[in-house]
Amino acid sequence: MSVIIDAAPSTQARAAWFQVEPGFWVANTGGRYLGAVERLHSGEFSARDDTGAEVGRFATLSDARDAVTSEAW
């Protein structure tokens, strides 16, 4: 499992990202689940919020992670 720490620009809170299996990442902060990102067969990244609703599809992992954390604040 890998961990990536991101700073959320609006609050400077930190989100911890965990790769729980190849192509699937989840984020949390302070014990609060923020959402997930999944790499699709198309190569795009699907970002989902804490309720599982799709926030969007993105060309890069970074953009998808940013979408999840920006939805959380």
What confidence tens digit (pLDDT) does each residue in 4-50 have? 655 444 433 689 999 999 999 999 999 899 999 999 999 999 999 99
**Residue 70 to residue 73: CA distance in whole angstroms:** 6
Ramachandran angles phi, psi of 44, nearest 5° = -75, 170
Task: Give residue limits of the domains in the chain.
Answer: 2-72
pLDDT confidence of residue 9? 46
Instruction: Kindly indicate the confidence band of residue 72, based on its pLDDT and cuts at 50, 70 and 90.
Output: low
pTM more than 0.85: no
Structure tokens, 12: 């400077």
Structure tokens, 16: 């911890």
Q: How many CA atoms lie within 13 A of 1 on its CB side?
A: 8
User: At 33, which amino acid appears?
Assistant: Y
Structure tokens, 7: 């700073």
pLDDT confidence of residue 4? 62
pLDDT confidence of residue 14? 84
